[in-house]
Amino acid sequence: MVVIAGAGIAHPTSQSQDELWSGFFSHHYSGVQRALANRLFRNSGVQRRHGAINPMIEDVSGWSTAKRMQRYLTEAIPLGKSAVTDALDAAGLAASEIGLFAVCSCTGYVTPGLDILLARDLGMSPDTQRLFIGHMGCYAALPGLGVVTDFVQARGRPAVLLCLELTSLHVQPPSADTDQIVAHSLFSDAAAAVVVLPGGPGYEVLDVGSVTDAATADHMTWDVTDLGFRMGLSQRVPDVLDQHVASLVDGLLDRHGLARDDVDGWAVHPGGPRILDVVRDRLGLTDPAMAPSRQVLAEHGNCSSPTVLMILDSLRRATPRHVLAMAFGPGLTLYGTLLRATP
């Protein structure tokens, strides 16, 4: 039995969506683009979000990728350290006891990587194994959780998974590209860490499943450019999720003799309000079942890979018996993870 025994969440400064619009983005766009951006910001489902960079103070849209990566390192180290420290404290473990430290991030790259620098600063053992998972996007937490679960099961040693994203570093120059406006209206910064142990109280990781629709690989992209990382986001993404989400969920549940009604905690990555609506309708879920995902979107925005772990952390306080976590990203890929509360 492998369980999630502790979690830690860290955010940079909170920013009001209305203030971000009036203080920066309303001037960032002009003409027809401004009217479209105003509508997308108002309908995003986001009320507040977080940014290591405040665009009202620093306009990074003209920064080179090199300058953004330098700032990534400066901001990521303390944020990641805070999340991992809180997760270790919650699990009652010392950093020196960790056998594997896995880090997921798609918003910045440095070498030596965050896995090395944070392991050093946190006091992990020299024989702690490390893994950096890059450019998987919003769903990275769930395959990352699968990897650390397999390690704990095989080795009998504790592991830590950290997901850290600084999307505020990748504000793009103004353009008529709707994809960029949508990204600017939704994305936020966060770090989320979980400690996984070979047994004990917490949430047992029962199963991880995925499906990739390679025919729609161009629907979601994240390209490295000279001016940071640029998102491509097709309006057809919810339609693809609509085709695959039911079979993914039912397949996970069937393998464990469960049905949708047996799940009393749903952690659905809030890629946007329409994505949450599609998942709700396709799975026949209630609005209360979707409330934790909508609340995280409203209070924190779409934080990419940490987001589903943030929803799981909020769900734990309600002590559901069975939890199903879902996240979506480039590929186009859907991931699901089934969890069960241990006695």
pLDDT in tens, 182-237: 999 999 999 999 999 999 999 999 999 999 999 999 999 999 999 999 999 888 89
Q: Do 228 and 136 fall into the same domain?
A: no
Above 90 in pLDDT, residue 176? no
Burial of 110 (0-12, 13-18, 19+ CB in 10 A): middle
Above 90 in pLDDT, residue 255? yes
245: containing domain? 203-341
pLDDT in tens, 310-320: 999 999 888 89
- List the beta bridge partners of residue 220: 233
Residue where one domain finishes, among candidates 174, 197, 220: 197
Above 90 in pLDDT, residue 251? yes
Residue located via tokens 């994505």: 275
Based on the residue annotation, tell me whether 138 is a catalytic residue of this protein: yes
Distance, in Å, from the CA atom of 197 to the CA atom of 205, rounded to the nearest integer, reads: 10
* Residues ≥6 apart with Cβ < 8 Å to 271: 138, 186, 237, 302, 328
What pLDDT, on a 0 to 100 scale, did the predictor assign at position 258? 98
E strands within the chain? 3-10, 14-16, 48-50, 100-105, 129-134, 159-166, 189-197, 203-212, 220-225, 228-233, 265-268, 322-329, 333-341
Q: Let me know the angle formed at the C-alpha of 282 by 268 and 136, rounded to the nearest 5 degrees.
A: 40
Residue where one domain finishes, among candidates 169, 197, 225: 197
Above 90 in pLDDT, residue 97? yes
pTM of the model: 0.97
Q: Do 144 and 163 fall into the same domain?
A: yes
Q: Do 239 and 176 fall into the same domain?
A: no
Nearest alpha carbon to residue 316 among 87, 57, 19, 111 = 87
Of 106, 138, 163, 303, the active-site residue reads 138
Q: Do 316 and 209 fall into the same domain?
A: yes
Distance, in Å, from the CA atom of 290 to the CA atom of 247, rounded to the nearest integer, reads: 19
- List the beta bridge partners of residue 232: 221
Q: Do 277 and 177 fall into the same domain?
A: no
What pLDDT, on a 0 to 100 scale, did the predictor assign at position 316? 87
Residue where one domain finishes, among candidates 152, 170, 197: 197
Rg (CA), the chain: 19
What pLDDT, on a 0 to 100 scale, did the predictor assign at position 317? 85
Q: What is the mean pLDDT of the chain?
A: 96
Above 90 in pLDDT, residue 343? no
Above 90 in pLDDT, residue 265? yes
